[in-house]
Amino acid sequence: MAKLALNGGRPVREKPFPRWPIYDDRELKALTNVLESGLWGIGGRFKKEFEEKFAAYQHAKYGVAVTSGTAALEISLRALGVGCGDEVVVTPYTFMATVMAILHVNAIPVFADIDPETYTIDPRSIESVISERTKAIIPVHIGGRPADMDSITSIAKRYDLYIVEDACQAWGSEWRGRRVGAIGDMGAFSFQSSKNITSGEGGMIVTNDEDLYIKAWSLHNCGRLPYGEHYEHYMPGWNYRMTEFQAAILLIQLERLDEHTRRRMDNAYYLDSKLSKIDGLKPLKKDDRITRNAYHLYIFRYDPEAFDGVSKNVFAKALQAEGIPLSIGYSKPLYREEYLRYFDRCPLSCPYYGKPVDYSNLNLPAVERACYLEGLWLPQYVLLGSREDMDDIIAAIEKVRENIDELASVKVS
């Protein structure tokens, strides 16, 4: 009789992991406060308060609260003057919004490979793709894990490049004790519904540079100036303003973040210690320069050879059937995704750039392995569970490993 739940056996786990998002009476009260204030958008106090508190939380001087992480990235690039004909170096192991932000400002994404042991952008690969057109680097702190900011900062200095940190998954993460976001010139955060603090949608730009702050503020608010008149528009601008409802909820969500981060880190270290004892599985490499990790994702590496050639997709399906929400994560490097076909004019064949851009022959080995063979994720809410919940994850993995012969013939699309 089959043992694995995928084949009709009894699952290791039937109870759910902690629910996400989390809220209580404080969020309800915050929403009522906004409703009763009569100021639901411009002119309210919550957006400003959240900008100040969140920027300080990230060790930054300034914050601009916007509609999404995508908007935060786009405005950061615009504020830095990145545009037509410029190249921006980016990792292909990220959410598509990172690359879309570059395309939104009509610049050219240039992909650098990831480090095979950390899944963050590989500084050696960044250097190998820099050209006289390169204007900026976007390191992504994937899953909350800071990219190697020492090397990236020194490359940016050497080649005179801007750094826009994609910290959309990295609230409170630290590199050598410094919170991410404003280690580079500008940083972007997301508060979309899966994120560790959320208002359904929302984003934040942080920076330490007053000029960049004013530009970003103006760009997100119809070209106005922070102390200017309502109908004076100093530069082209968008309406990318966060609402008071979002800001009020996020102020409360922020109060839980430290305790949640501690819990996620404890559980992640526990999983690291257990997984590293299982043949064929590897946690991402430890790095003492990372002093805090938001663990939006718990990412680990799977070696199909050690599991009788069973693919990571089938392995993940088997774990899901056992009651563990294991994800295959990004299933293709971003330079292989269909969305790029839609840019048949600018910016990918833009006269300002002078040559067509073609990603069809790009093959970066570490990201290919991560997407097609190795990378597996557990979502952040799982890490809010108890030690027993973590033990269930390990028990389910061990069960699937012991019964791997049952999977040899399973086909999963």
Among residues 67 and 106, whose Cβ is nearest to ligand PLP?
67
Radius of gyration of the chain (CA): 22
Residue nearest to ligand PLP (CB): 69
Residue 330 is a binding residue for ligand PLP (CB under 6 A) = no
Q: What character string, x for contact with ligand PLP (CB under 6 A) and - otherwise, covers 124-143?
A: ----------------x---
Instruction: Give CA–CA dist 183/208, Å, rounded.
Output: 9
Catalytic residue of the set 47, 135, 195, 312: 195
Interaction of residue 203 with ligand PLP, rule CB under 6 A: yes
Under rule CB under 6 A, residue 95 binds ligand PLP: yes
- Pick the piece of the chain touching ligand PLP (CB under 6 A) from 41-49, 112-120, 155-163, 164-172: 164-172
Is there binding between residue 318 and ligand PLP (CB under 6 A)?
no
Pairwise CA distance, residues 224 & 116, whole Å: 44
Residue 307 or residue 381: which is nearer to ligand PLP going by CB?
381
195 carries an active-site annotation: yes
CB 138 → ligand PLP: shortest distance, Å?
A: 9
The count of other CB atoms within 10 Å of the CB of residue 410 is 16
Q: 138, 164 in Cβ contact below 8 A?
A: yes
Residue 68 makes contact with ligand PLP by CB under 6 A: yes
Q: Which residues 176-195 are close enough to bind ligand PLP by CB under 6 A?
A: 190, 192
Q: In whole angstroms, what separates CA 92 from the centre of its chain?
A: 12
* 3-class secondary-structure state, position 188: strand
Strands 203-207 and 281-283 come out as: unpaired
> Which of 330, 331, 339, 324 has its CA nearest to residue 399?
324
State in angstroms the smallest separation of the CB of 73 from ligand PLP: 6
Nearer to ligand PLP, 192 or 291 (CB): 192
Mode of pairing for the β-strands spanning 134-138 and 108-111: unpaired
Residue 98 lies near ligand PLP (rule: CB under 6 A): yes
Query: What distance in Å separates the CA atoms of residue 63 and residue 146, rounded to the nearest whole number?
Result: 20
Which of 69/333 has CB closer to ligand PLP? 69
Q: Is 76 in the site for ligand PLP (CB under 6 A)?
A: no
Beta strands in 84-175, from DSSP E residues, in sequence order: 87-90, 108-111, 134-138, 162-166, 174-175
If binding is defined by CB under 6 A, does position 70 make contact with ligand PLP?
A: yes
Residue from 76, 91, 94, 311 binding ligand PLP (CB under 6 A): 94
Using CB under 6 A as the binding criterion, the count of chain residues that bind ligand PLP stands at 14
Choices 90-98, 349-357, 370-378, 394-402; region in contact with ligand PLP by CB under 6 A: 90-98
Strands (E), 184-326: 186-190, 203-207, 281-283, 290-292, 297-302
Residue 162 to residue 157: CA distance in whole angstroms = 9
- 109 binds ligand PLP per the rule CB under 6 A: no
DSSP class of 371: I
The binder of ligand PLP chosen from 44, 63, 69, 123 (CB under 6 A): 69
Residues in CB range of 144: below 8 A, 6 or more apart: 169, 170, 171, 173, 196, 293, 294, 295, 296, 297, 380
- From the list 64-72, 119-127, 285-293, 299-307, the region that binds ligand PLP by CB under 6 A is 64-72
Contacts with ligand PLP by CB under 6 A lie at 68-70, 94-95, 97-98, 140, 166, 168-169, 190, 192, 203
Catalytic sites, residue numbers:
195
